[in-house]
Chains A and B, each alone.
Chain A
Amino acid sequence: MDVPLDERVVGATPRSAIVAPIVLGLVSAASLAVFFVLVGRFLDLIADGATATSTDLALLCALPLVAVLCGLISSQVTARSVGVTERRLRGLVLGQVFDLGVARRSDAASGKLVSAATTDVEKAAGYRAGFMGPIAATMAGPVLVIVVIGIAIDPIAALWLAIAIPVIPLVVGGFQRAFRKVSGSYRRSAGMLSAAFLEAVQGLSTLVLHRAEDRTARDLAARGEDNRRQVMRLLAANQLLILVVDAAFSLGTLALAATLAVVRSLDGALTFGEAVALVLLSTLLTGPADVVGQFFYIGATGRAAERGLSGVLAEKPTVPAGRLAAPRSTSGHGEHGALAVELHSVTAGYDPGRPVLQGLSMRIEPGEHVALVGPSGVGKSTIVALLSRHLLPTSGAVFVGNLDTREAAGESVRSLVTVVDQQTVLFSGSIAENLRVARAEASDAELHEAIASAGLTADVERMPKGLDTPVGERGLSLSGGQVQRIAIARALLRDAPVLVLDEPTSQVDLESEALIIDALRTLSRNRTVLTVAHRSSAIRDVDRVIELGGAS
């Protein structure tokens, strides 16, 4: 839980996000303070039966406008900084996801990453870029107001206020600490109430199919009522903070200023206008009272979000980055001959001490079509991971052409090897956008050529917008067979010399299977191909079959 803050997380907020709101806030506080001083002078003039000059009047109008303008600029600067910070933080998280590579992640862990990149990023940016500067300005404003009082009205009154004002946060802070336990259990109780309800809603199908919905509703209502009573009891204590803050600020600012105004007036040290101005100026000292609640709430959630992000960034990739680039034509398309693939006494696995493959050697000649057959658990997908450098051997070596995967950069290896998996992820967007994932600069003609070779032309022509048809979330609006043919079209566009087919027809409907097999035949031409399957009966058109794990 206690992850140190990552300096990239802190550094994502531009320095101006803190400095600008403080400067603008201080200017604003000073102009309002001077405004009230002038209001006092004006009142004195009226009391003396004199009239104000037009310069006085102009200043009286201009000062609030300065303050208002400062506020406006500050909110724009802050909004801009929040945007910049959010973008930088999101980039950091997603970059980290890519650096971590292909990981076996539970749904819950994936969900956590998504919420790190969205909710946590928003909270962290809202805290550091959106909150710290303005809050510091609010806290510092009263200091400047007291300085103005000291210079323009009465140094003695200013001195008394200067002594009293710092006492207020101390009282509030002390009270906060004393009630921390109550606040904690209050939040926990309220949280439990929400959690029980949410659980019942999420499990409603199960409840209904087991006829437990009425019982659960009664139980929920009873528990909710108990819990609510407890929450209200805790709240009674917790909310005393509001009483203390309110009383402390009223007494420490307005009541004190009024007392000083009366006493110093009686001493003859203040004019009528100055005394009234002192009272009115005290309203500028209560700014911190309004934000004290936010201060603790946004502060706590913001810091928690920053720690969460730091935790995500602290994770180390399991596969170290390689340096070596692929020889010359790494762009993936154009003419280059098929390459050989070789595993040289490879031992590899995901959990240390539990290798899936042990001392395995095999070689696939350039242009050769080889099938790898064996029951599940025998290490077929481990070999696929090794060839696409999502995994490195613990001993031995894997070569794609002349490239040793231990030395080479992941991108270099993967520019030579394309994998068509059992299931393909499509991104939200059009079919054309999904195809251009494989080659960003592909022309429309090239896309049409690829879908023709993948046997998709007829399907795409039936779609309302052709290649610009959106695929829906994760390709849900397409059949499994269509998605696999899009994967094949992608592989064609990628045009890598080595092709790995990891049971690409195992999840598609029976009707599509023949179409996909045709498309795969086109794709396999002039490439080195490794086909992975459970049993040899699913394998066609290969030069050689390698059986893994013997019995099949």
Chain B
Amino acid sequence: MTATPGHTTPGRAGLARWLLHHTRDLLKPLGLAIVLRVIGQLVGVALLVIAVDGVVRALTTGNTDVLWPTVTTLVVLALVKAVLRYLEQYSGHYVAFAALASLRRLFFARLAPQAPAATDGASSGDLSTRATRDIDRVEVFFAHTVPPAVSAVVVPIVALVWTAIAVDPTLALVMLPVPVLVVAVIPFLSGGLTWKATRERGAASGRIAGHVSDSIAGVREILGFDHRDARLAELDALGRSSARAARRVSGVAGLRGALVQAVQFGGIVALLVMGSERAATGAIDATDIAVAIAVLIGIAGPTRAVDGFVADLDASFASAARLFEVLEREPVVAETSAPTDSHAARTSSSTTDVVRFDGVSFSYPGSASAAVAGVDWSVPRGAHVAVVGVSGSGKSTLTSLLTRTWDPTDGSLRLEGADVRTLPLGELRDRVAIVNQRPFVFGRSLRDNVLLGAPDASDEQLAAALHTAALDEFVSSLPDGLDTPLRERGARLSGGQLQRLALARAVVTDPDVLVLDESTGALDPATEATVRERLAAWAAGRRTIIEVTHRVDQVLGADEVLVLDRGRVVERGVPRTLADADGPFASLLARV
């Protein structure tokens, strides 16, 4: 939702081409799976035909010699069919996992340049859905839709041609409408209705989930206003409308299934009726009719599969379209086209300002009001400065412009004299590190998590960073130390430990500018004091610290503070002085 749209989503043919282009390595195993399925299902038809044929020969010859060849053939074919089914399933899964792997690789590679703008905030849940559910659906399309679709067409054609040649062309003609109706007509009846009902059901499920999470977040309000029964009644009403949509979906599907069955059994009756007339003329006999019925029953299974996946096909294409939207989106910030010699720019710059905002304004895409408006600010090298304001005042937005999560809609930002848009993204993010309020921890070891941005750091550098973040004692208290695995399978960190981990992770990359975005809120006062002291020692007047917080009492010791309200600078100055004035800073301080 955040980035500028890349290309408009193409139609189904275009989407299919796009998908095949990205999964072209899979065509060979996919072809194999199709061939195995077709042969396996033809063997299934042959089993029935041979069984009927055995009965016919036993009765016409009355000879017991018929028994063993028939039984042996049946057993062998049954085993062959089972093996083919096994191989088909195996190759189908091979395709599935390979498709999954290439779609995931593609997803990650295309999404990375769009981060963090496209991956932060409200859209992150939606992205997770696309990364899991939508990719899975497209995978299902490849592995479990294409082979049945092909065999639903090929198996009846082969079976009917054989019937026409080996049994009787007229009987084959009588049978023909059955697979045509089952494969090509009935599944597409009422497709629009199903699609509409399916979407309605999806929307109803979404409303239910939203209502439930609202209720859980608002328990206090609901109990406070004695709104409980009303809330339960609303949920029940939503459940009713969702169930109505679900009944419509299953009603239409059930009707289609009933039609398929009726046509298939109708075909048997038609064979009997037409067959008996032809038998009366002596052109065929009862055994021919029996064999034709066996063929018709044999192809019932393979053709019926179509109905099952036609409904899923819509969902698969919807998922493909959702993937296309993400994968073909342009990143909001472009990598600099002409890499300037930024080192030269840095050294030649005579300015002592490490960071400079010149008339910076920014509005989020689709938002009418500016998140940040007309900010002019310069931060001298080695300073410890602060940006304060209530939540929504634009303070985090302001600092996110510094690492080019977004580019300002107006004005410019300079890092040691160079416009940030002229610096390679990698270099910029090396020199400016941001520690966020809710750091992300990966399910790897503690060491891997701290060294995320500096995999080649020495043990001394790592130890120093842990010390600065006051995490050293905690690490040595762990039985496995730095090798302790984190997340689900490992140690669970407290909020404060998490924030210190994020701090160590930033410090170890040795940045020129460190941005602390509400990143000490979970520390207890004693630890926070230790961290501040050690950070000051680490910065040592060479590195710059920009602190973003709503807790204004935390930044009374800063060199300068910038007060933002509704995206505008409403006050700036030395915090101790502002605290005694009767301005915005003092009002914020009064709230703490």
Contact = CB atoms under 8 A, between A and B. Distances in A.
A159 interface: no
Interface string A11-31: 000000000000000000000
B269 interface: yes
A52 B453 CA distance: 85
B390 A507 contact: yes
A392 B65 CA distance: 90
B223 A390 contact: yes
Nearest to A248: B82
Interface stretch (A163-171, A275-283, A523-531): A275-283
Interface in A3-59: 35, 39, 42-47, 49, 51-52, 57
A232 B140 CA distance: 17
A485 interface: no
Contacts of B50: 258
Interface in A471-498: 473-474, 479-480, 490, 494
A415 B266 CA distance: 68
Interface in A80-102: 80, 82-84, 86-87, 90-91, 93-95, 97-98, 101-102
Nearest to B135: A197
B220 A235 contact: no
Interface string A410-437: 1100110011010011111000000001
Contact of A76 (B212, B250, B293): B250
Contact of B59 (A203, A206, A246, A272): A272
A323 to B, nearest CB: 16
Contacts of B275: 46
Which of B132, B220, B262 has the most A CB atoms < 10 Å from its CB?
Answer: B220
Contacts of A503: 591
Nearest to A114: B213
A537 B590 contact: yes
A311 interface: no
B262 A197 contact: no
A162 interface: no
Interface stretch (B89-97, B143-151, B163-171): B89-97
A90 B588 contact: no
A452 interface: no
Contacts of B59: 265, 272, 275
Nearest to A508: B390
A283 to B, nearest CB: 6
Nearest to A112: B216
A198 B131 contact: yes
Nearest to B253: A75
Interface string B82-124: 1101100110011001101100110111011001100110001
A506 interface: yes
Please report whether the interface of chain B is mostly helix, strand, loop or mixed according to DSSP: helix
B420 to A, nearest CB: 14
B540 interface: no
Contacts of B220: 102, 390, 419, 421, 425
Contacts of A329: none
B294 A251 contact: no
Interface string B322-356: 00000000000000000000000000000000000
Interface stretch (B152-160, B374-382, B438-446, B474-482): B438-446
Q: How large is the interface on B (under 10, 10 to 19, 20 to 34, 35 or more residues)?
A: 35 or more
Contacts of A221: 101, 105
Contacts, number: 401
A415 B258 contact: no
A410 B232 CA distance: 18
Interface string A242-257: 1110110011001101
B505 interface: yes
A244 B226 CA distance: 59
A80 to B, nearest CB: 6
A440 interface: yes
Contacts of B219: 97-98, 101-103
A197 B131 contact: yes
Contacts of A118: 205, 208-209, 212
Nearest to B233: A91
A266 B119 contact: no
Which of B104, B280, B434, B439 has the most A CB atoms < 10 Å from its CB?
Answer: B104
B565 A258 contact: no
Contacts of B31: none
A265 B55 contact: yes
A461 interface: no
A481 to B, nearest CB: 9
A510 B217 contact: no
Nearest to B288: A46
Contacts of B250: 75-76, 78-79
18 contacts: A35-B265, A39-B272, A51-B276, A61-B266, A102-B223, A201-B119, A209-B429, A210-B452, A210-B509, A217-B108, A217-B109, A224-B104, A250-B81, A258-B74, A259-B67, A280-B297, A437-B227, A438-B225
Interface of B: 47-48, 50-52, 54-56, 58-59, 62, 64, 66-67, 70-71, 74-75, 78-79, 81-83, 85-86, 89-90, 93-94, 97-98, 100-101, 104-105, 107-109, 111-112, 115-116, 119-120, 124, 127-128, 131-132, 205, 208-228, 230-232, 235-236, 239-240, 242-244, 246-247, 250-251, 253-255, 257-258, 261-262, 265-266, 268-269, 272-273, 275-276, 279-280, 285-287, 289-290, 293-294, 297, 389-393, 403, 426, 429-430, 433-434, 436, 439-440, 442-443, 452-453, 455, 505, 509, 565-566, 570, 584, 587-588, 590-592
Given A193-B100, A258-B74, 14 more contacts: A43-B289, A51-B276, A71-B261, A102-B223, A194-B132, A197-B104, A225-B101, A232-B90, A232-B97, A235-B90, A258-B50, A388-B224, A411-B226, A537-B590
Closest 8 CB pairs of A and B: A83-B243, A210-B453, A64-B265, A205-B116, A258-B51, A250-B78, A247-B82, A75-B254
